[in-house]
Structure 1
Amino acid sequence: MKTIWTTMSLLLAATAITGISTTGHAADLAAKPVYKAVPAVDLWNPWMIRVRALAVVPEDGGSVHQVPGSSLKTSDQVVPEIDISYFFTPNLAAELILGVTKHHVTGDGALAGLDVGKAWLLPPTLTFQYHFTQFGAFKPYIGAGVNYTWFFSQSAGNTANAGVTVTNSSLKDTAAPVLQFGFDYMIDKHWGWNVDVKKMWMRPDWEGTLANGTAITGQVKLDPWLIGTGITYKF
Protein backbone atom coordinates (compact mmCIF):
# COMPACT_ATOMS: atom_id res chain seq x y z
CA MET A 1 0.00 0.00 0.00
CA LYS A 2 2.83 2.34 0.89
CA THR A 3 4.30 1.74 -2.55
CA ILE A 4 0.96 2.65 -4.23
CA TRP A 5 0.73 5.94 -2.30
CA THR A 6 4.33 6.74 -3.13
CA THR A 7 3.68 6.15 -6.84
CA MET A 8 0.52 8.32 -6.83
CA SER A 9 2.36 11.12 -5.07
CA LEU A 10 5.07 11.11 -7.72
CA LEU A 11 2.47 11.16 -10.54
CA LEU A 12 0.63 14.11 -8.97
CA ALA A 13 3.88 16.03 -8.54
CA ALA A 14 4.86 15.41 -12.18
CA THR A 15 1.43 16.57 -13.40
CA ALA A 16 1.69 19.78 -11.38
CA ILE A 17 5.15 20.54 -12.74
CA THR A 18 3.99 19.88 -16.33
CA GLY A 19 0.98 22.19 -15.88
CA ILE A 20 3.15 24.99 -14.55
CA SER A 21 5.55 24.60 -17.49
CA THR A 22 2.70 24.58 -20.04
CA THR A 23 1.08 27.66 -18.49
CA GLY A 24 4.39 29.52 -18.51
CA HIS A 25 5.02 28.67 -22.15
CA ALA A 26 1.52 29.83 -23.14
CA ALA A 27 2.05 33.06 -21.23
CA ASP A 28 5.34 33.62 -23.10
CA LEU A 29 3.57 33.11 -26.45
CA ALA A 30 0.80 35.53 -25.49
CA ALA A 31 3.30 38.14 -24.36
CA LYS A 32 5.37 38.13 -27.54
CA PRO A 33 3.91 40.33 -30.40
CA VAL A 34 3.35 38.67 -33.75
CA TYR A 35 4.87 40.55 -36.70
CA LYS A 36 3.47 40.20 -40.21
CA ALA A 37 5.42 41.06 -43.36
CA VAL A 38 4.21 44.30 -44.96
CA PRO A 39 4.52 44.43 -48.75
CA ALA A 40 6.84 47.13 -50.09
CA VAL A 41 5.10 50.14 -51.64
CA ASP A 42 6.31 51.21 -55.10
CA LEU A 43 6.16 55.01 -54.85
CA TRP A 44 4.97 56.73 -58.05
CA ASN A 45 6.94 59.77 -59.17
CA PRO A 46 5.27 62.03 -61.76
CA TRP A 47 8.42 63.45 -63.38
CA MET A 48 9.92 62.39 -66.72
CA ILE A 49 12.81 63.84 -68.72
CA ARG A 50 13.88 63.16 -72.31
CA VAL A 51 17.00 64.06 -74.28
CA ARG A 52 16.50 63.90 -78.05
CA ALA A 53 18.10 64.64 -81.40
CA LEU A 54 15.58 66.88 -83.15
CA ALA A 55 15.17 67.51 -86.88
CA VAL A 56 13.51 70.87 -87.58
CA VAL A 57 12.06 70.74 -91.11
CA PRO A 58 10.30 73.97 -92.17
CA GLU A 59 8.06 74.18 -95.18
CA ASP A 60 9.42 76.42 -97.93
CA GLY A 61 7.03 79.33 -98.30
CA GLY A 62 6.31 82.96 -97.66
CA SER A 63 6.74 86.07 -99.73
CA VAL A 64 8.05 89.61 -99.94
CA HIS A 65 5.02 91.87 -100.32
CA GLN A 66 6.71 94.33 -102.68
CA VAL A 67 7.92 91.66 -105.13
CA PRO A 68 5.16 89.81 -107.06
CA GLY A 69 5.89 86.13 -107.59
CA SER A 70 8.43 86.02 -104.77
CA SER A 71 8.82 83.19 -102.30
CA LEU A 72 11.15 82.30 -99.44
CA LYS A 73 13.02 79.14 -98.38
CA THR A 74 14.23 78.22 -94.90
CA SER A 75 17.01 75.74 -94.14
CA ASP A 76 16.52 72.49 -92.22
CA GLN A 77 18.42 71.82 -88.99
CA VAL A 78 19.22 68.97 -86.59
CA VAL A 79 19.77 70.08 -82.99
CA PRO A 80 19.85 68.62 -79.46
CA GLU A 81 16.68 69.11 -77.44
CA ILE A 82 15.50 68.46 -73.90
CA ASP A 83 11.99 68.18 -72.54
CA ILE A 84 10.51 67.84 -69.08
CA SER A 85 7.14 66.18 -68.46
CA TYR A 86 4.91 66.21 -65.39
CA PHE A 87 2.21 63.53 -65.04
CA PHE A 88 -0.94 64.68 -63.23
CA THR A 89 -2.21 61.09 -63.51
CA PRO A 90 -0.76 58.01 -65.27
CA ASN A 91 -2.61 59.19 -68.40
CA LEU A 92 -2.55 63.02 -68.33
CA ALA A 93 0.70 64.98 -68.59
CA ALA A 94 2.16 68.35 -69.54
CA GLU A 95 5.43 68.61 -71.48
CA LEU A 96 7.77 71.61 -71.81
CA ILE A 97 10.24 71.47 -74.73
CA LEU A 98 13.45 73.52 -74.68
CA GLY A 99 16.10 74.04 -77.33
CA VAL A 100 17.58 76.53 -79.79
CA THR A 101 18.08 76.33 -83.53
CA LYS A 102 19.55 78.49 -86.31
CA HIS A 103 18.02 78.91 -89.75
CA HIS A 104 19.01 80.53 -93.05
CA VAL A 105 16.35 82.26 -95.16
CA THR A 106 16.88 82.68 -98.91
CA GLY A 107 14.75 83.92 -101.78
CA ASP A 108 12.84 81.78 -104.25
CA GLY A 109 10.60 82.39 -107.25
CA ALA A 110 11.15 85.98 -108.40
CA LEU A 111 13.86 86.32 -105.75
CA ALA A 112 15.59 82.99 -106.45
CA GLY A 113 19.12 82.90 -105.05
CA LEU A 114 18.75 86.01 -102.89
CA ASP A 115 20.44 85.71 -99.48
CA VAL A 116 17.84 87.20 -97.13
CA GLY A 117 19.51 86.48 -93.78
CA LYS A 118 20.05 84.21 -90.79
CA ALA A 119 18.47 84.01 -87.34
CA TRP A 120 18.60 81.99 -84.14
CA LEU A 121 15.30 80.71 -82.73
CA LEU A 122 14.35 80.02 -79.11
CA PRO A 123 11.03 78.14 -79.42
CA PRO A 124 9.78 76.91 -76.00
CA THR A 125 6.71 74.74 -76.49
CA LEU A 126 4.13 73.57 -73.95
CA THR A 127 1.83 70.66 -74.77
CA PHE A 128 -0.82 68.76 -72.83
CA GLN A 129 -0.85 65.04 -73.54
CA TYR A 130 -2.92 61.89 -73.16
CA HIS A 131 -0.81 58.74 -72.62
CA PHE A 132 -2.25 55.31 -73.43
CA THR A 133 -1.21 52.81 -70.74
CA GLN A 134 -2.89 49.57 -71.85
CA PHE A 135 -0.09 48.35 -74.15
CA GLY A 136 2.54 47.32 -71.61
CA ALA A 137 6.02 48.71 -72.32
CA PHE A 138 4.75 50.47 -75.48
CA LYS A 139 3.21 53.79 -74.39
CA PRO A 140 1.86 55.95 -77.22
CA TYR A 141 0.55 59.48 -76.63
CA ILE A 142 -1.10 62.41 -78.38
CA GLY A 143 -0.94 66.06 -77.45
CA ALA A 144 -1.72 69.65 -78.36
CA GLY A 145 -0.40 72.97 -77.15
CA VAL A 146 1.20 76.27 -78.01
CA ASN A 147 4.63 77.51 -79.05
CA TYR A 148 6.12 80.98 -78.69
CA THR A 149 9.29 81.68 -80.66
CA TRP A 150 11.82 84.41 -80.02
CA PHE A 151 14.20 85.32 -82.87
CA PHE A 152 17.64 86.65 -81.89
CA SER A 153 21.15 87.25 -83.29
CA GLN A 154 19.63 88.07 -86.67
CA SER A 155 21.75 89.15 -89.61
CA ALA A 156 21.07 90.17 -93.22
CA GLY A 157 22.58 88.40 -96.20
CA ASN A 158 24.41 91.49 -97.56
CA THR A 159 25.01 89.60 -100.81
CA ALA A 160 23.97 91.17 -104.11
CA ASN A 161 21.77 89.13 -106.44
CA ALA A 162 20.39 90.57 -109.69
CA GLY A 163 21.03 94.04 -108.35
CA VAL A 164 19.19 93.37 -105.05
CA THR A 165 20.94 93.31 -101.68
CA VAL A 166 19.26 92.89 -98.29
CA THR A 167 21.16 94.96 -95.74
CA ASN A 168 18.77 94.53 -92.82
CA SER A 169 16.62 91.52 -91.90
CA SER A 170 14.31 91.02 -88.94
CA LEU A 171 11.84 88.25 -88.14
CA LYS A 172 9.15 89.10 -85.59
CA ASP A 173 8.50 86.97 -82.50
CA THR A 174 5.38 84.88 -82.92
CA ALA A 175 3.07 82.29 -81.34
CA ALA A 176 1.91 79.10 -83.02
CA PRO A 177 -0.45 76.17 -82.29
CA VAL A 178 1.10 72.69 -82.02
CA LEU A 179 -0.12 69.13 -82.51
CA GLN A 180 1.93 66.17 -81.29
CA PHE A 181 2.06 62.39 -81.35
CA GLY A 182 4.69 59.88 -80.30
CA PHE A 183 5.53 56.96 -78.05
CA ASP A 184 7.85 55.80 -75.30
CA TYR A 185 9.05 52.20 -75.22
CA MET A 186 10.09 51.50 -71.63
CA ILE A 187 13.02 49.11 -71.19
CA ASP A 188 12.52 49.07 -67.41
CA LYS A 189 10.68 51.23 -64.86
CA HIS A 190 13.09 54.14 -65.40
CA TRP A 191 14.67 53.97 -68.87
CA GLY A 192 13.07 54.02 -72.28
CA TRP A 193 13.33 55.06 -75.91
CA ASN A 194 11.21 57.89 -77.33
CA VAL A 195 10.01 58.90 -80.80
CA ASP A 196 8.15 62.20 -81.08
CA VAL A 197 6.62 64.20 -83.95
CA LYS A 198 5.20 67.72 -83.73
CA LYS A 199 3.60 69.98 -86.30
CA MET A 200 3.59 73.77 -85.83
CA TRP A 201 1.78 76.43 -87.82
CA MET A 202 4.32 79.24 -87.50
CA ARG A 203 4.31 82.22 -89.90
CA PRO A 204 6.32 85.14 -88.52
CA ASP A 205 6.20 88.55 -90.15
CA TRP A 206 9.44 89.79 -91.65
CA GLU A 207 10.85 93.19 -92.55
CA GLY A 208 14.08 94.25 -94.18
CA THR A 209 15.93 97.02 -95.94
CA LEU A 210 17.54 96.98 -99.37
CA ALA A 211 20.90 98.53 -100.16
CA ASN A 212 19.22 101.57 -101.73
CA GLY A 213 17.27 102.20 -98.50
CA THR A 214 13.95 100.74 -99.67
CA ALA A 215 11.98 99.16 -96.85
CA ILE A 216 10.43 95.79 -97.65
CA THR A 217 8.10 93.54 -95.67
CA GLY A 218 6.83 90.00 -95.90
CA GLN A 219 5.95 86.81 -94.13
CA VAL A 220 7.99 83.62 -93.75
CA LYS A 221 5.90 80.45 -93.85
CA LEU A 222 7.90 78.17 -91.58
CA ASP A 223 5.14 75.69 -90.51
CA PRO A 224 7.85 73.25 -89.37
CA TRP A 225 7.75 69.55 -88.63
CA LEU A 226 9.75 68.67 -85.50
CA ILE A 227 10.85 65.03 -85.61
CA GLY A 228 12.83 63.72 -82.67
CA THR A 229 14.14 60.54 -81.09
CA GLY A 230 16.14 59.94 -77.94
CA ILE A 231 16.30 58.62 -74.38
CA THR A 232 13.52 58.69 -71.79
CA TYR A 233 14.16 58.70 -68.03
CA LYS A 234 11.19 58.28 -65.65
CA PHE A 235 11.90 59.20 -62.04
Structure 2
Amino acid sequence: MHKLSKSMLALGLLVCAGSAMAHQPGDMVLRVGAAMVDPQDDSSTLRVNGTSVDGTSVSVDNDTQLGLTFTYMLREHIGLEVLAATPFSHEVTAHGLGDDLKTAEVTHLPPTVSVQYYPMEAGAAFQPYVGVGVNYTLFFDEELTSDFKGAMGDGKIKLDNSFGAAFQLGVDYQLTDNLVVNAAVWKIGIDTTATIDLDSGAQIKTDVDIDPLVYMVGVGYKF
Protein backbone atom coordinates (compact mmCIF):
# COMPACT_ATOMS: atom_id res chain seq x y z
CA MET A 1 0.00 0.00 0.00
CA HIS A 2 2.90 2.30 0.82
CA LYS A 3 4.55 1.59 -2.55
CA LEU A 4 1.23 2.15 -4.32
CA SER A 5 0.84 5.55 -2.63
CA LYS A 6 4.32 6.56 -3.75
CA SER A 7 3.59 5.45 -7.29
CA MET A 8 0.31 7.38 -7.38
CA LEU A 9 2.09 10.49 -6.04
CA ALA A 10 4.81 10.25 -8.68
CA LEU A 11 2.21 9.81 -11.41
CA GLY A 12 0.31 12.82 -10.13
CA LEU A 13 3.45 14.98 -10.22
CA LEU A 14 4.17 13.92 -13.78
CA VAL A 15 0.63 14.71 -14.84
CA CYS A 16 0.82 18.14 -13.22
CA ALA A 17 4.15 18.86 -14.87
CA GLY A 18 2.88 17.79 -18.24
CA SER A 19 -0.30 19.81 -17.97
CA ALA A 20 1.44 23.20 -18.02
CA MET A 21 0.12 24.78 -21.21
CA ALA A 22 2.41 27.29 -22.89
CA HIS A 23 1.52 30.29 -25.00
CA GLN A 24 -2.12 30.09 -26.03
CA PRO A 25 -3.68 32.81 -28.24
CA GLY A 26 -4.47 35.83 -26.06
CA ASP A 27 -1.77 34.99 -23.48
CA MET A 28 0.45 37.80 -22.22
CA VAL A 29 3.97 36.98 -21.02
CA LEU A 30 5.99 39.46 -18.94
CA ARG A 31 9.70 38.61 -18.66
CA VAL A 32 12.25 40.33 -16.42
CA GLY A 33 15.98 39.70 -16.18
CA ALA A 34 19.54 40.89 -16.64
CA ALA A 35 20.17 42.35 -20.11
CA MET A 36 23.66 43.05 -21.47
CA VAL A 37 24.34 45.23 -24.52
CA ASP A 38 27.58 44.02 -26.13
CA PRO A 39 28.53 46.39 -29.01
CA GLN A 40 30.02 44.80 -32.12
CA ASP A 41 31.23 48.24 -33.09
CA ASP A 42 32.90 49.64 -36.18
CA SER A 43 33.56 53.31 -36.90
CA SER A 44 34.80 55.64 -39.60
CA THR A 45 37.93 57.67 -39.04
CA LEU A 46 37.60 60.86 -37.03
CA ARG A 47 36.90 63.91 -39.17
CA VAL A 48 38.26 67.19 -37.79
CA ASN A 49 36.61 70.16 -39.51
CA GLY A 50 35.72 67.80 -42.36
CA THR A 51 39.23 66.35 -42.81
CA SER A 52 39.74 62.63 -42.04
CA VAL A 53 42.52 61.73 -39.61
CA ASP A 54 44.05 58.46 -40.81
CA GLY A 55 44.38 55.62 -38.32
CA THR A 56 41.72 56.90 -35.95
CA SER A 57 38.52 55.20 -34.77
CA VAL A 58 36.27 54.91 -31.73
CA SER A 59 34.96 51.96 -29.70
CA VAL A 60 32.05 51.51 -27.30
CA ASP A 61 32.13 49.35 -24.15
CA ASN A 62 29.32 47.07 -22.91
CA ASP A 63 26.81 47.53 -20.09
CA THR A 64 24.30 45.41 -18.17
CA GLN A 65 20.94 46.67 -16.94
CA LEU A 66 17.48 45.43 -15.99
CA GLY A 67 15.71 44.12 -19.08
CA LEU A 68 11.97 43.81 -19.58
CA THR A 69 9.97 42.19 -22.38
CA PHE A 70 6.23 41.94 -22.88
CA THR A 71 4.74 39.45 -25.37
CA TYR A 72 1.14 39.21 -26.51
CA MET A 73 0.24 35.99 -28.31
CA LEU A 74 -1.73 36.99 -31.41
CA ARG A 75 -2.16 33.37 -32.49
CA GLU A 76 -0.97 29.97 -31.27
CA HIS A 77 2.45 30.34 -32.95
CA ILE A 78 2.70 34.13 -33.40
CA GLY A 79 3.55 36.68 -30.72
CA LEU A 80 4.18 40.43 -30.65
CA GLU A 81 6.95 41.51 -28.27
CA VAL A 82 8.15 44.84 -26.89
CA LEU A 83 11.68 45.00 -25.44
CA ALA A 84 12.51 47.71 -22.90
CA ALA A 85 15.16 48.25 -20.22
CA THR A 86 16.55 50.67 -17.70
CA PRO A 87 18.92 53.10 -19.47
CA PHE A 88 22.24 51.69 -20.68
CA SER A 89 25.41 53.74 -20.15
CA HIS A 90 28.50 53.30 -22.34
CA GLU A 91 32.00 54.70 -22.39
CA VAL A 92 33.31 55.80 -25.81
CA THR A 93 37.07 55.59 -26.43
CA ALA A 94 38.97 57.27 -29.28
CA HIS A 95 41.91 55.38 -30.80
CA GLY A 96 44.79 56.64 -32.93
CA LEU A 97 45.36 59.94 -31.15
CA GLY A 98 48.47 58.75 -29.37
CA ASP A 99 47.29 56.85 -26.31
CA ASP A 100 43.68 55.65 -26.28
CA LEU A 101 41.58 58.57 -25.11
CA LYS A 102 38.44 58.00 -23.06
CA THR A 103 36.22 60.46 -24.85
CA ALA A 104 32.63 60.41 -23.64
CA GLU A 105 29.94 58.67 -21.64
CA VAL A 106 26.58 58.26 -23.34
CA THR A 107 23.23 56.89 -22.20
CA HIS A 108 20.61 55.30 -24.39
CA LEU A 109 17.32 53.44 -24.44
CA PRO A 110 16.77 50.83 -27.20
CA PRO A 111 13.01 50.04 -27.35
CA THR A 112 12.41 47.22 -29.86
CA VAL A 113 9.20 45.76 -31.25
CA SER A 114 9.34 42.27 -32.78
CA VAL A 115 7.02 39.71 -34.33
CA GLN A 116 7.86 36.26 -32.94
CA TYR A 117 7.31 32.75 -34.25
CA TYR A 118 6.96 29.82 -31.83
CA PRO A 119 7.27 26.52 -33.79
CA MET A 120 6.28 24.13 -30.98
CA GLU A 121 2.74 23.14 -30.12
CA ALA A 122 1.05 25.03 -27.29
CA GLY A 123 1.26 22.11 -24.88
CA ALA A 124 5.06 21.90 -25.05
CA ALA A 125 6.85 23.16 -21.93
CA PHE A 126 9.98 23.90 -24.01
CA GLN A 127 9.22 26.85 -26.33
CA PRO A 128 11.99 28.13 -28.60
CA TYR A 129 11.21 31.13 -30.77
CA VAL A 130 12.62 33.49 -33.39
CA GLY A 131 11.76 37.12 -33.92
CA VAL A 132 12.25 39.98 -36.35
CA GLY A 133 11.45 43.60 -35.70
CA VAL A 134 12.49 47.23 -35.59
CA ASN A 135 14.55 49.14 -33.04
CA TYR A 136 14.60 52.83 -32.15
CA THR A 137 17.59 53.92 -30.07
CA LEU A 138 17.38 57.21 -28.21
CA PHE A 139 20.69 58.72 -27.03
CA PHE A 140 20.73 61.26 -24.20
CA ASP A 141 22.92 62.59 -21.36
CA GLU A 142 26.00 62.57 -23.59
CA GLU A 143 29.00 63.98 -21.70
CA LEU A 144 32.65 64.49 -22.63
CA THR A 145 35.08 63.00 -20.11
CA SER A 146 37.57 65.01 -18.09
CA ASP A 147 40.37 63.11 -19.92
CA PHE A 148 39.10 64.37 -23.27
CA LYS A 149 38.60 67.92 -22.05
CA GLY A 150 42.13 67.95 -20.64
CA ALA A 151 43.59 66.85 -23.97
CA MET A 152 41.33 68.62 -26.48
CA GLY A 153 39.51 71.38 -24.60
CA ASP A 154 35.93 71.85 -23.46
CA GLY A 155 32.93 71.29 -25.67
CA LYS A 156 29.76 69.29 -26.21
CA ILE A 157 29.00 65.93 -27.81
CA LYS A 158 25.80 64.76 -29.50
CA LEU A 159 24.85 61.36 -30.93
CA ASP A 160 22.09 61.00 -33.53
CA ASN A 161 19.18 58.71 -32.67
CA SER A 162 18.88 55.53 -34.71
CA PHE A 163 16.33 53.29 -36.46
CA GLY A 164 17.39 49.74 -37.33
CA ALA A 165 16.37 46.13 -37.82
CA ALA A 166 16.38 43.61 -34.97
CA PHE A 167 16.67 39.81 -35.08
CA GLN A 168 16.06 37.52 -32.12
CA LEU A 169 16.49 33.96 -30.87
CA GLY A 170 15.02 32.87 -27.54
CA VAL A 171 13.57 30.08 -25.49
CA ASP A 172 11.04 29.77 -22.68
CA TYR A 173 10.82 26.78 -20.38
CA GLN A 174 7.51 26.60 -18.57
CA LEU A 175 7.81 25.55 -14.92
CA THR A 176 4.12 25.97 -14.08
CA ASP A 177 1.02 27.23 -15.87
CA ASN A 178 2.20 30.78 -15.16
CA LEU A 179 5.95 30.75 -14.47
CA VAL A 180 8.69 30.42 -17.13
CA VAL A 181 12.45 30.78 -17.27
CA ASN A 182 13.79 32.55 -20.33
CA ALA A 183 16.96 33.20 -22.29
CA ALA A 184 17.16 35.37 -25.41
CA VAL A 185 19.65 37.11 -27.70
CA TRP A 186 19.04 39.95 -30.16
CA LYS A 187 21.19 41.35 -32.97
CA ILE A 188 20.22 45.01 -33.29
CA GLY A 189 21.26 47.51 -35.95
CA ILE A 190 22.26 50.77 -34.26
CA ASP A 191 24.07 53.31 -36.47
CA THR A 192 24.80 56.84 -35.31
CA THR A 193 26.92 59.88 -36.02
CA ALA A 194 28.79 61.40 -33.08
CA THR A 195 29.52 65.14 -33.28
CA ILE A 196 31.79 67.02 -30.90
CA ASP A 197 31.68 70.82 -31.04
CA LEU A 198 34.67 72.24 -29.18
CA ASP A 199 34.62 75.67 -27.56
CA SER A 200 37.63 76.49 -29.74
CA GLY A 201 35.38 76.30 -32.81
CA ALA A 202 36.70 72.97 -34.08
CA GLN A 203 34.31 70.15 -34.86
CA ILE A 204 35.02 66.41 -34.68
CA LYS A 205 32.72 63.83 -36.28
CA THR A 206 32.64 60.07 -36.74
CA ASP A 207 30.09 57.53 -37.95
CA VAL A 208 29.68 54.57 -35.60
CA ASP A 209 28.00 51.24 -36.32
CA ILE A 210 27.33 49.96 -32.79
CA ASP A 211 25.27 46.92 -33.93
CA PRO A 212 25.21 45.18 -30.53
CA LEU A 213 24.36 41.68 -29.46
CA VAL A 214 21.90 41.94 -26.56
CA TYR A 215 21.76 39.00 -24.14
CA MET A 216 19.01 38.52 -21.56
CA VAL A 217 18.41 35.81 -18.97
CA GLY A 218 15.46 35.96 -16.59
CA VAL A 219 12.08 34.73 -15.50
CA GLY A 220 8.62 35.36 -16.87
CA TYR A 221 5.02 35.31 -15.76
CA LYS A 222 2.14 34.44 -18.07
CA PHE A 223 -1.23 36.10 -17.61
Same fold (TM over 0.5): yes
The equivalent position to 1:65 in structure 2, one of 47, 53, 64, is: 47
Structure 1 runs (4+) greater than 4 angstroms displaced? 42-45, 160-163
Q: Contact 1:113 / 1:161 at 8 angstroms: preserved in 2?
A: no
Query: Hey, what's the Cα distance between the residues in 1 that align with 2:106 and 2:181?
Result: 32
Q: What displacement does 1:151 show?
A: 0.8
Query: Hey, what's the Cα distance between the residues in 1 that align with 2:128 and 2:149?
Result: 48
Q: Contact 1:157 / 1:165 at 8 angstroms: preserved in 2?
A: no
How many residues matched?
194
Q: State whether structure 2 residue 89 is matched by structure 1 residue 102.
A: yes
In the alignment, which residue of structure 2 is the partner of 1:15? Answer: none
Q: State whether structure 2 residue 19 is matched by structure 1 residue 47.
A: no
1:221 and 1:44, CA in 2 relative to 1: closer, same or farther beyond 3 A? closer
Deviations 1:112-135 (A, max 9, x none): 422221111011100000012248
The equivalent position to 1:201 in structure 2, one of 180, 185, 189, is: 189
Q: Percent identity?
A: 27
Q: Contact 2:114 / 2:134 at 8 angstroms: preserved in 1?
A: yes
**Residue segments in structure 1 that go unaligned for 5+ positions in a row:** 1-41
Q: State whether structure 2 residue 67 is matched by structure 1 residue 81.
A: yes
Query: Hey, what's the Cα distance between the residues in 2 that align with 1:85 and 1:118?
Result: 32
Q: What displacement does 1:152 show?
A: 1.0
In the alignment, which residue of structure 2 is the partner of 1:114? Answer: 101
Q: What displacement does 1:165 show?
A: 4.1
Q: What displacement does 1:108 show?
A: 1.7
Q: Contact 1:195 / 1:228 at 8 angstroms: preserved in 2?
A: yes
AA partner of residue 94 (structure 1):
L
In the alignment, which residue of structure 1 is the partner of 2:201? Answer: 213
**Range with bigger deviation, 198-207 or 165-174:** 165-174
In the alignment, which residue of structure 2 is the partner of 1:35? Answer: none
Query: Hey, what's the Cα distance between the residues in 1 that align with 2:216 and 2:175?
Result: 19
AA partner of residue 173 (structure 1):
N
Q: What displacement does 1:95 show?
A: 0.3
For normalisation by structure 2, the TM-score amounts to 0.80
The equivalent position to 2:76 in structure 1, one of 80, 90, 94, is: 90
Higher relative contact order (CA 8 A, sep 6+): 2
Q: What displacement does 1:157 show?
A: 1.9
Q: Contact 1:87 / 1:94 at 8 angstroms: preserved in 2?
A: yes
Query: Hey, what's the Cα distance between the residues in 2 that align with 1:165 and 1:124?
Result: 34
SS of the residue corresponding to residue 191 of structure 2 reads coil
**Residue segments in structure 2 that go unaligned for 5+ positions in a row:** 1-20
Q: Contact 2:136 / 2:162 at 8 angstroms: preserved in 1?
A: yes
The equivalent position to 1:123 in structure 2, one of 107, 110, 123, is: 110
Q: Contact 1:179 / 1:198 at 8 angstroms: preserved in 2?
A: yes
Q: What displacement does 1:80 show?
A: 0.4
Q: Contact 1:166 / 1:208 at 8 angstroms: preserved in 2?
A: no
Q: What displacement does 1:111 show?
A: 6.0
Deviations 1:158-210 (A, max 9, x none): 42489434622111111111000110010111111000000012111110023
1:233 and 1:105, CA in 2 relative to 1: closer, same or farther beyond 3 A? same
The equivalent position to 1:159 in structure 2, one of 118, 127, 147, is: 147
AA partner of residue 84 (structure 1):
F
Query: If you compute each CA radius of gyration, which structure gives the higher value, 1 or 2?
Result: 1
